[in-house]
């Protein structure tokens, strides 16, 4: 599959850890010694150009030099932890930042792949791949693209940005599409003119000479309603005139409507592909292979706890696995225990709290205040991880099935929905809700499992400000 460089930054689920990861990797690259003899006379070299052996301090010769000293770890007042190759291999093995590109690395998605091939390659439908952040949409789309290539299609992959209009969504594909000579000439002319739906549809239908699939990732970021409506029109036109080009839209959403406002006549021609929770045994297989790559063994109860906490999300499985593996490594062991997992989950939660302060503070407050509906609130997290979306009705039904208790669930579900509301966004239609931070449900459950704190959570900045305003105009 060909990836189109649209010049947009890839917005992967990332954070401190991934930043650290890339930092360590860059350090490790510097270790290769490639830059050992590189000397830039006017300026001392930057830290990343300084060769540093993993696990060792700078050699005495480096430190004794009277030449201007490069900014290096040796020059720091307090030495930081030596860089360990073992940790580097843990970051690599459990990497949460890179989508899977090899089908052998894709856990638990065989039926999704089969369905996509059948719908897009065989039945020539367009498709919408949707799910939460970190559920594996990009990974699925990329591996599907490779399968489509093997089936004789040309799969092109691009990624959208928030300010994209119709032109910028599709123009990058033009130069890569397999076109007749006349088509290439036409495409060249289009380079100097705005690209509209009719022109693009005509070009795709008349001049593309091989089955092609345009995969447009991060489509949820597109803000312009006009662009989205143009895309829907393009899909309809391509369908009506039996185009050799199919479009696959990929993005965060709870359903097809969350990604594209499709007219009923178009709906029949779009294959919806939810990227759902991965079954636990498959997630365990994924964790075992990550651990094997990091030369670690997993105790069965540690594996069970990791896969359980991830609740079907490959991103969380890798993140939790990585944190637990770092605890194992810090203890100088190569077998991960349940206690390592407990500590790893706690540090994953700490990192998330740092990055998602407002949501964390809200969950803390909600779990503290909601004495009777704590279970229902935790169930909302579980439901969101399994179904992407929650609603009052869904919680009542699940409450009856999972918690028992009968009619009290109506009141508990209403209370849970009301308390969680600031962290939720309504889906089109207004009945279903997703957590705005779609990575949050797993952390909500981790928090709900913690013992209830003895003291109430500290006031949020908003609460502090409200206290300061006390006495103003009746407040
Ligand atoms: N089926 C899978 N098997 C193994 N790892 C996966 C799978 N799906 C996703 N991952 C991993 O989970 C993380 C998030 O995947 P990604 O495809 O970027 O998710 P999304 O596009 O939905 O945000 C990446 O580290 C990726 O390697
Ligand atoms: Mg993605």
Choosing from 274, 305, 321, the residue where a domain stops is 274
Residue 16 vs residue 109, higher pLDDT? 109
Residues 294 and 396 in one domain: no
Residue 134 lies in a domain: yes
Number of compact structural domains in the chain: 4
Q: Whose CA is nearest to atom 6 of ligand 1?
A: 314
Residues 300 and 173 in one domain: no
Helix (H) or strand (E) holding 234: helix 225-240
What distance in Å separates the CA atoms of residue 352 and residue 271, rounded to the nearest whole number?
34
Mean pLDDT of 140-166: 95
Q: Which of 96, 113, 134, 145 to mutate to test the pocket of ligand 1 (most atoms within 8 A of CB)?
A: 134
The enclosing domain of 232 has a CATH number of: 3.40.50.300
Choosing from 274, 296, 325, the residue where a domain stops is 274
Lowest mean pLDDT among 141-145, 256-260, 413-417: 256-260
| DSSP assignment of 339-384 | HHHHHHHHHHHHHHHHHSHHHHHHHHHHHHH-STTHHHHHHHHHHH
Q: Label residue 471 by pLDDT band (50, 70, 90).
A: confident
Residue 371 lies in a domain: yes
Residues 269 and 288 in one domain: no
Query: CA dist 265 to 198, 236, 240, 254, Å?
Result: 19, 8, 10, 21
Contacts of 339 (CB under 8 A, 6+ apart): none
By CB neighbour count within 10 A (0-12 exposed, 13-18 middle, 19+ buried), where does 447 fall?
Answer: buried
Q: 137 CB less than 6 Å from ligand 1?
A: yes
Residues 241 and 290 in one domain: no
Give the pLDDT of residue 82: 60
Mean pLDDT of 434-439: 95
Query: What region, left, alpha or beta, does residue 411 occupy, with left being phi > 0 and alpha being psi -120 to 50 degrees?
Result: alpha
Instruction: Give the HSE-up count for residue 205: Cα atoms under 13 Å, Cβ half-sphere.
Output: 16
Q: 314 CB less than 6 Å from ligand 1?
A: yes
Residue 99 vs residue 268, higher pLDDT? 99
Residues 212 and 291 in one domain: no
Q: 315 CB less than 6 Å from ligand 1?
A: yes
pLDDT of 137 > 50? The answer is yes
Q: Label residue 323 by pLDDT band (50, 70, 90).
A: very high
Residues 342 and 369 in one domain: no
pLDDT of 429 > 90? The answer is no
Residue 51 lies in a domain: yes
Nearest atom in ligand 1 to the alpha carbon of residue 217 is 21
Residues 349 and 421 in one domain: no
Choosing from 354, 372, 394, the residue where a domain stops is 354
pTM: 0.81
The enclosing domain of 313 has a CATH number of: 1.10.8.60
Q: 136 CB less than 6 Å from ligand 1?
A: yes
pLDDT of 18 > 50? The answer is no
User: What is the residue range of 302's domain?
Assistant: 281-354
Q: 171 CB less than 6 Å from ligand 1?
A: no
């Amino acid at each position: 599959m060909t990836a189109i460089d649209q010049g947009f930054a890839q917005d992967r689920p990332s954070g401190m850890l991934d930043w650290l990861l890339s930092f360590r990797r860059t350090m490790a690259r510097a270790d290769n010694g490639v830059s050992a003899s590189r000397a830039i006379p006017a300026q001392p070299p930057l830290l990343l150009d300084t060769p540093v052996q993993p696990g060792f301090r700078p050699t005495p010769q480096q430190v004794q030099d009277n030449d201007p000293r490069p900014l290096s770890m040796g020059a720091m007042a307090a030495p930081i932890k030596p860089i360990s190759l073992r940790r580097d291999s843990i970051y690599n093995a459990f990497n949460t930042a890179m989508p899977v590109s090899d089908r052998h690395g894709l856990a638990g998605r065989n039926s999704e792949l089969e369905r996509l091939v059948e719908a897009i390659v065989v039945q020539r439908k367009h498709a919408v791949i949707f799910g939460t952040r970190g559920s594996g949409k990009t990974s699925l789309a990329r591996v599907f693209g490779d399968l489509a290539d093997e089936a004789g299609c040309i799969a092109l992959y691009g990624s959208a940005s928030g300010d994209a209009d119709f032109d910028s969504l599709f123009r990058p594909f033009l130069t890569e599409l397999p076109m007749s000579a006349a088509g290439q000439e036409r495409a060249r002319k289009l380079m100097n003119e705005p690209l509209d739906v009719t022109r693009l549809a005509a070009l795709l239908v008349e001049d593309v000479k091989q089955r092609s699939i345009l995969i447009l990732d991060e489509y949820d970021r597109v803000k312009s309603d006009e662009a989205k409506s143009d895309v829907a029109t393009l899909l309809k036109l391509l369908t009506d005139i039996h185009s050799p080009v199919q479009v696959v839209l990929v993005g965060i959403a709870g359903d097809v409507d969350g990604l594209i406002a499709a007219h009923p006549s178009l709906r029949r021609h779009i294959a919806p592909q939810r990227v759902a929770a991965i079954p636990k045994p498959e997630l365990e297989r994924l964790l075992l292979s990550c651990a094997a790559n990091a030369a670690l063994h997993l105790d069965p109860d540690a594996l069970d706890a990791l896969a359980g906490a991830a609740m079907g999300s490959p991103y969380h499985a890798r993140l939790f696995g990585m944190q637990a593996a770092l605890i194992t490594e810090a203890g100088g062991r190569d077998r991960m225990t349940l206690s390592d997992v407990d500590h790893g989950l706690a540090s994953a939660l700490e990192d998330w709290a740092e990055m998602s302060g407002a949501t964390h503070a809200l969950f803390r407050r909600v779990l503290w205040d909601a004495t009777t509906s704590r279970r229902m609130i935790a169930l909302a997290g579980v439901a969101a991880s399994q179904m992407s979306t929650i609603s009052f009705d869904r919680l009542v039904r699940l409450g009856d099935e999972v918690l028992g208790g009968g009619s009290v669930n109506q009141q508990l579900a209403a209370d849970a929905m009301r308390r969680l509301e600031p962290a939720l966004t309504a889906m089109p239609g207004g009945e279903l809700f997703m957590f705005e931070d779609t990575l949050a449900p797993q952390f909500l459950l981790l928090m709900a499992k913690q013992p209830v704190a003895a003291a109430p959570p500290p006031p949020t900045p908003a609460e502090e400000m409200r206290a300061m305003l006390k006495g103003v105009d009746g407040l």
